[in-house]
Every structure is written in structure tokens, then in C-alpha cells.
Amino acid sequence: MHRWLLYVLLLTLGGCQSNSLLRDYDPGRDYSAYRSWQWHDTPLTYRPDDPRLRSDLTEQRIRDAIAGQLEQRGLRQAPDGAQADLRVQVSVMLDTRQQELRSLSGGYWGNPWYGPVFQEVRTIDYQVRTLQIDLYDGKDGRLIWRAAREDAPDSGADHPARRSAAIQRSVAEMLQYFPPH
């Protein structure tokens, strides 16, 4: 019985930490007109503004990954002081969420018809990290495209090369359908 509960618990926790990717964009824009980009006035924001979340190393990896992906899509980074067609802003967020797990036990040999049945409810807290990329029109300042990806913090990236590869993969998946067709 305990193995079964452990198995259910592991499957449920695995569901808590699944990656999700959301994209949204303004369909009324002519994306072929965008040729250059630059970083927003505040290129990276953090929520919460916690020194454990903020890292110059991670910030540089994110910047490099986005610059590389935009370059592959034909967008060039505008020189300093020049007006770009797009402005890029990235947000890194860490949220705590809860999930409720319920299990039934009791009865004679697991049969609820023979004896009392007990229900146990457990609440599990877990953290979700979100990386969000926002692209703003350089002329009117309006948001034209957004992608957000959720995953579990420290999801297997225990070495700088693995961290870089994980960020590269995430950004590539997020920008895979930019510009929208």
C-alpha cells in the first residue's frame, strides 16, 4: 500500500514540475517590417528582487541566447543611440504554488465495505520559475509579442555548460514561432 502511495505521489509531483510554454502576439502587426532590435531601458527584471535569483552569469547567458536567436531570424542589434524597430525585455519570476494530494486508506484488506475508510490530505508547496520574453514596438512602445516558459528551478543544470545549454534550449523554443506567420 505504501509503495502505491509513493508512486502516486511521485507522479503527482512530476506533474507539478512540467514545463509549459505560452505565446501571444498582436496579429495586426506587419512583422516583416521589423529589422532591428535593442534592449529595453530595463532589459531584465526579477520577481522577487532577490539576490539568490539575480545573477550576472545567468543574465549574460539569457542575453546571449536571445541575441543569437534574434540574429538567426534576421534581426540585427541596433547600434547604441540608434532607434530600433523592436525593444526586448526579459522577466525572470519565481512563484510558490501549492498542490493538494488526497489518499484513501482503511477498510478490511483495502475494501471500503469492510470497516472505516480514512482520507488523508496533504498540501505540497513547490516553486515554479518563469522566463518571459516581451517584444515592444520601437515606435509606439506597445507590446507586440510575448512568450513565457515555466519550469522547475534548478532542473538538472548543475554545471555552467549545462545551464547555458538549458537557457539556449528554452529561448530557442520560446522564439521558435517568431515572427508569427
> 75-108: per-residue pLDDT in tens?
999 998 899 999 999 999 988 888 888 887 666 6
Report the b/e string of 97-118 with b at 16+ CB within 10 A.
eeeeeeeeeeeeeeeeeeeeee
Rounded CA-CA distance 86/68 in Å is 15
Q: Can you tell me whether residue 160 is helix, strand or coil?
A: helix
User: What is the reported pLDDT for 7?
Assistant: 41
Report how far apart, in Å, the C-alpha atoms of 56 and of each of 52, 62, 63 are.
Answer: 11, 10, 10
What percent of the chain stands above pLDDT 90? 50
Rounded CA-CA distance 172/174 in Å is 5
> 149-167: per-residue pLDDT in tens?
998 876 656 788 888 999 9
CB 129 within 8 A of CB 153: yes
Mean pLDDT of 16-32: 84
Q: Can you tell me whether residue 78 is helix, strand or coil?
A: coil
* CATH of range 20-174; options 3.90.550.10, 1.20.1250.20, 3.30.390.30, 3.30.160.670: 3.30.160.670
Report how far apart, in Å, the C-alpha atoms of 124 and of each of 10, 97, 127 are.
Answer: 12, 8, 10
Confidence of residue 5 (pLDDT cuts 50, 70, 90): very low
Query: Does 63 score more than 80 pLDDT?
Result: yes
Mean pLDDT of 109-119: 65
Nearest to 91 by CA among 151, 136, 42: 42
Calculate the average pLDDT of the chain.
84
User: What is the reported pLDDT for 83?
Assistant: 93
Q: Where are the alpha helices (DSSP H) in 19-153?
A: 56-72
Domain ranges of the chain: 20-174
Judge if pTM exceeds 0.85: no
Query: Does 15 score more than 60 pLDDT?
Result: no
